[in-house]
Structure 1
Amino acid sequence: MGSMEEPSPETNYTKPLGIRFIEYIKRSNISYKTHQVIVLIVTFIAYASYHAARKTTSVVKSTLDPASDEVSLNSLPWRRRPFSWILGDGWAPFDGSDGTVLLGEIDVAFLAVYAIGMYFSGHLGDRINLRIFLTIGMVGTGVFTSLFGIGYWGSIHSFYYYLAVQMLAGLFQSTGWPSVVAVVGNWFGKKKRGLIMGIWNAHTSVGNITGSLVASALLQYGWGWSFVVPGLMIATIGLVVFLFLPVTPESVGVSEEDESDSPKKSGAEVTSPLLISSRAEVKDQPVGFIEAWKIPGVAPFALCLFFSKLVAYTFLYWLPFYISHTAIDGQYLSDAAAGNLSTLFDVGGVLGGILAGHISDRLDARAITAASFMYCAIPALFFYRSYGSISLTANVILMFITGMFVNGPYALITTAVSADLGTHSSLRGNSRALATVTAIIDGTGSVGAAIGPLLTGYISAKSWSAVFTMLMGAALIAGLLLTRLVVAEVTAKIEESRSRRGSTSRSQPAVIDV
C-alpha cells in the first residue's frame, strides 16, 4: 500500500515534469488539494510577473523624457529624476518637445494590441495546452521587454523600434490573463470561487509594486536594466510554469472524488462508458468566438467591464498626478508623497475584490454584487473629489473607500464571473470555453482601460471636476448594463424563497378543527 500508484501512460505523459519529479521524491501521488495549492501559487506568481514587466515603462518614462514626469500618464512618484547626474538629460527620440506625445503613443499602442490580442489568445488558449501557451507568452514577454532595454546599450534612437517592441510585448502579454483564469477555473468549483479568486487577484497589486521597486532600484545602473531584469524574471517564471503547472485535474489523473469514498473506490455504480465517451466528446470541442459571445451574461458583463476598467485604469495612471496637483489641507504634496499615498487606492482595491467575491459567494448573485459596488462607487467618487482635499486623513479614508468600490467589481468580473460564464450550463459540460470567455470579457475591458486615461488627458486640462463627472457617469453605465441580469437574479431569489416557504408549510402537520 505504501508504494506509489503507477499512473496510466496517457496520464503520465501529460503531467508536468516538475509534478512527476515531486511524486518520484515522495514515492506517492500528489493529492487533489495539493494540486490546487500548486495551481494558486504558480498562477499567482506568473501573473504578478506579467504586471511587474508591464510596470517598467511607467517607471522609466521620466528618465527617457525629463518633461514627462510633469504630465505623463505613468509618471514616477517624484518630480525630479533620480540619479540624473548619471543618466543625463533624456534619451532620443523621447527627449524632444514631443517626447511626451511619443511615449503616450507607445502606451496607447501597447494597450490596443493587448486588447485585440486578448481575443486571439482566448481563442487559441481553448485549443492548445494552456501550460505551453502560457510558457510561450511569458518567455515572449520577457524577450520583448528585454529588447526595449537593450536599446540603451545598443544606442538605438528609432521611435519605431521602441513602438514595434512594445506592441509585440503587448501581444505576448495578452496570453496571460485568459490562461491563468482558465486554469484556476478548471480546479475550483463555483461554491467558493468568488472568495478564492478575490484573494488570488491580489497578484495585480503585488506585481505592480514589485515592478516599481525593481525598476526604480536599477535606474542608477542605466535604464536598460530596468527592462532587462524584469524581462529575465518573467521568462524564468515561465519555465517554472512549464515545469509545475497542472492545467486540469484530468491532465494529471486526479479528481476531487478521489479524496473521499467515490463510486470508483467503493465499488458502487460506475458510469456507463457510453456516457463517459459522449461527455469527453463534448468537452473536446472548443467553443467559437461568436458562440462564446452568445453565452448568457457574457455580453453584459463584458460591456460592464469596459466602463468599470475605464474608471479603474484612469485612477491607475492619473491618481499620483492628481494628488500632487491638488491642495490637501492647503498644502501640495511632493510627487514622492503623492505616489506613496496613491498605493492606498490599490490596498482598498484588494479588500474590495475579496469582499465582492465573498459576498457574491454567499448570495450566489454575481450581477447583484457587481452592480451594487458600481452604484456605491458613484457617491464614493463624488465625496473623494469634494472632500478629499479637506485633510490628509479624509483623503486617505475616502481614497481607500473609492478603491474598494471601484476595483471590487473589476476584480470580481475578471475572475469569478469569467470562470462562471466559461463553465455556463448552456455549454453542457464543455470546459473548453474558459479562455475564450475570459479573453472576451477582459479584452473588452482593456479597450475601456485604454480610452479612460486617454480621455482624462484631454479633460483634465480643462477641469478635474469634469474628469470625476465622466468617471461617475461610466460607473453608472456599468451598473445599468447589468440591470437585466440583476432583475433575473432577484426574480430567482424571490421564487426560491417562495418555494422554500411553500415546502415548509406543506411539511407541517395539518391542524384539525374539532
Structure 2
Amino acid sequence: RYRGLTLVLTFLSYTSYHLSRKPISIVKSQLHPNCSALGPNPHNDSNSSTWCSWAPFDGDNYKELFGALDNAFLVAYAIGMFISGIFGERLPLRYYLSGGMVLSGLFPLLFGLGYFWHIHVLWYFIVVQVCNGLVQTTGWPSVVTCVGNWFGKGKRGLIMGIWNSHTSVGNILGSLIAGVWVSSAWGLSFIVPGIIIAAVGIICFFFLVEYPEDVGCSPPLHHMASDEDPGGVTCSEKDPEGITSNEGPLSISGQSSRDHLNSPKEPAEEPEAISFLGALRIPGVVEFSLCLLFAKLVSYTFLYWLGGTFAGLISDYTGGRATTCCVMLVVAAPMLFLYNHIGQNGIGASIAMLVVCGALVNGPYALITTAVSADLGTHESLKGNAKALSTVTAIIDGTGSIGAALGPLLAGLISPTGWNNVFYMLIAADVLACLLLTRVVVKEFRGWCGPMARQRGSSVQLTESVLDGK
C-alpha cells in the first residue's frame, strides 16, 4: 500500500507542477487580443487597435515579449535543474519537495496578482517567471527519486511509463482551469493553479514516505534480472514495528530477530551524497543526457506527449533502455520526413502522422527522464551509494531542458526560410540523439550476445559429450 501511496502522491505532485505552468500559454491570447472584434473603443483613445490589450504587451513587439517570458522560464529551469539535484541529494526529500511546491504556488500567484494590482512593467513578469523556473526544478528530481526508491529495475519501465502520464494530465487540467477565468479575470487563471500546487505540497509533507526503510519495508533490488526482481519492496503487514531492513543472516531466526530489536540499535552509516562530477562519471549519464537534449528539442517543438508507456514496456521486456530509445529515434527520422509531405494532405493524415511521430519521439524522451534516470541513479558503479538518484535525474533533465529551450527558438529562427528547413532541423536533431547512444547500444548488444554465446557453447559441449558416450 505504501508503494501505491507513493505513486499516487508523486503523480499528483508533478501533475500540479505542470498544471501551474500551463496558464501562461492560455492567458497570452488575453494579454494581446484582437480588439477590433470587441467593438469600438469605449475610452475613445486614438489607439483603437490595442485598447483592450494589457500593457506592456500592447505593442507591435508583443510576440517578442511573449518569447522573452517563455525563455525566462525555460533558461532558469535548465540552469536551476543542475543545482536542484545537488540540494535534493542533501536535504530530506519530503521537505524539499513540499517546500518547492509551496514556492511554485507563490510565483504563479504573484503573476496573477499583477492583474489585480494593475502592474504594467515587463521586468515584474520576467522576474516572476525566472523565480518560478528556478523553484519548479525542485519537482522532477524529487518525484523520480521517490519512485526509484520504491520500485526495482525489473518493472520500472512500464510503471514509470504509465506514471509519466502526469505530464499530459497536468497540461489538460491546467488548460481547463486557466480557461475558466481567462476572459473575465485572467489573474485568477494563475492564482487558482498556484493555490492547488501549494495545497498538494502540504499533503505531500504529511503523507509522502521517502524510503521503504522508513516504514519497515525492505528496499527494492536494483541490479537483479527482471524475473528475480518483483519490481518493488516487501513489507510485513502483521508486525510493521518488528521489521527492520537489511538485518542480515541472523534475522532468519525469530530469536535472533528479537535479540536484534532488544539490543541497542547501531546507527547506520549515512551514505555520502554524490558530487556533480561523480554523477557525470556514472556510465551512460553523459550519453543519455545529450541524447535527451536533442530528443527534447524535437518533442518540445511540436509538443509531442505520447509513447512513454510503450517505450517503457519494451525496455522492461528486452532489458535494453538505450536500444529501445535508439530504434524509436531511427524510425522517427523518416516518419518526420513523411509528416512534412503527407501531413499537408488533410486533417486526417495530419492527425495520424502526428500520433505516430509523437509516439516515436516522446517514447525515448519519457523513458530517459524516468526509468533510465532511476537506473543510472542506482548504478552498480555507485557500490551501494543510493544518494545519487536526485543528482543524476537533475543532470539528465537539465540537459534536456536546454533542448526544450533551443527547439522552439531554432524553429522560430528557421521558419522564415521555409517549414521544410524546420523539419530538416528536427530530423538532424533526431539523428544526433540516436548517434549519441551508439556506445551504450553496443554495450547492451554485447551483454545480450555473451549469454547467447555461452549457451551455444554449452549446447555444443553437451552434444560432444553425448557423442563420445556413444
What is the TM-score normalised by the length of structure 1? 0.80
Q: Which residue of 1 aligns with 2:373?
A: 418
C-alpha distance in structure 2 between counterparts of 1:59 and 1:80, whole Å = 19
C-alpha distance in structure 1 between counterparts of 2:289 and 2:20, whole Å = 25
- Any idea what the Cα deviations from partners look like across 1:192-225, whole Å, max 9, x if unmatched? 1001000000000000111011101121331100
Q: Which residue of 1 aligns with 2:283?
A: 296
Are 1:267 and 2:253 an aligned pair?
yes
Q: Which residue of 2 aligns with 1:49?
A: 16
User: Cα gap change, 1:132/1:204 in structure 2, threshold over 3 Å: closer, same or farther?
Assistant: same
Q: Which residue of 2 aligns with 1:359?
A: 314
Equivalent residue for 1:237, pick from 200, 208, 225: 200
Are 1:196 and 2:182 an aligned pair?
no
- Any idea what the Cα deviations from partners look like across 1:362-403, whole Å, max 9, x if unmatched? 111111011111111101111111101213222121110000
Percent identity over the alignment is 49
Q: Which residue of 2 aligns with 1:66?
A: 33
Q: Which residue of 2 aligns with 1:150?
A: 113
C-alpha distance in structure 2 between counterparts of 1:479 and 1:422, whole Å = 22
1:22-421 mapped onto 2 (5 Å cutoff): 34-66=1-33, 89-255=52-218, 256-259=233-236, 266-267=252-253, 280-281=268-269, 284-316=271-303, 345-346=304-305, 349=306, 352-421=307-376
C-alpha distance in structure 1 between counterparts of 2:89 and 2:469, whole Å = 65
C-alpha distance in structure 1 between counterparts of 2:60 and 2:349, whole Å = 38
C-alpha distance in structure 2 between counterparts of 1:252 and 1:94, whole Å = 52
Cα offset, 1:102, TM superposition? 1.3
User: Cα gap change, 1:269/1:461 in structure 2, threshold over 3 Å: closer, same or farther?
Assistant: farther
C-alpha distance in structure 1 between counterparts of 2:100 and 2:211, whole Å = 19
Partner secondary structure for residue 221 of structure 1: coil
Query: What letter is aligned with 1:57?
Result: I
Aligned-residue RMSD, C-alpha: 2.6
Conserved? CA contact 1:123–1:288, under 8 Å: yes
User: Cα gap change, 1:268/1:80 in structure 2, threshold over 3 Å: closer, same or farther?
Assistant: farther
User: Cα gap change, 1:278/1:443 in structure 2, threshold over 3 Å: closer, same or farther?
Assistant: farther
User: Cα gap change, 1:151/1:299 in structure 2, threshold over 3 Å: closer, same or farther?
Assistant: same
What is the TM-score normalised by the length of structure 2? 0.87
C-alpha distance in structure 2 between counterparts of 1:279 and 1:482, whole Å = 42
Query: What letter is aligned with 1:40?
Result: L
Query: What letter is aligned with 1:41?
Result: V
C-alpha distance in structure 2 between counterparts of 1:123 and 1:179, whole Å = 11
User: Cα gap change, 1:471/1:239 in structure 2, threshold over 3 Å: closer, same or farther?
Assistant: same
C-alpha distance in structure 1 between counterparts of 2:118 and 2:462, whole Å = 82
Partner secondary structure for residue 415 of structure 1: helix
Partner secondary structure for residue 93 of structure 1: coil
Q: Which residue of 1 aligns with 2:45?
A: none
Partner secondary structure for residue 54 of structure 2: coil
Cα offset, 1:265, TM superposition? 6.2
User: Cα gap change, 1:294/1:168 in structure 2, threshold over 3 Å: closer, same or farther?
Assistant: same
- Any idea what the Cα deviations from partners look like across 1:130-174, whole Å, max 9, x if unmatched? 111001111001000110000000001111111101110111101
Equivalent residue for 2:425, pick from 457, 470, 474: 470
Conserved? CA contact 2:102–2:197, under 8 Å: yes
C-alpha distance in structure 2 between counterparts of 1:279 and 1:513, whole Å = 60
Partner secondary structure for residue 460 of structure 1: helix
Q: Which residue of 2 aligns with 1:441?
A: 396
C-alpha distance in structure 1 between counterparts of 2:452 and 2:119, whole Å = 67
Cα offset, 1:62, TM superposition? 1.4
Partner secondary structure for residue 360 of structure 1: helix
5+ residue gaps, structure 2, are 43-49, 219-232, 238-242
C-alpha distance in structure 2 between counterparts of 1:48 and 1:198, whole Å = 14
Cα offset, 1:501, TM superposition? 2.7
- Any idea what the Cα deviations from partners look like across 1:252-301, whole Å, max 9, x if unmatched? 23223445999676418989x9xxx99953x5200001110111100000
Query: What letter is aligned with 1:311?
Result: V
**How many residues were matched structurally?**
431
Cα offset, 1:40, TM superposition? 0.6
Conserved? CA contact 1:279–1:429, under 8 Å: no
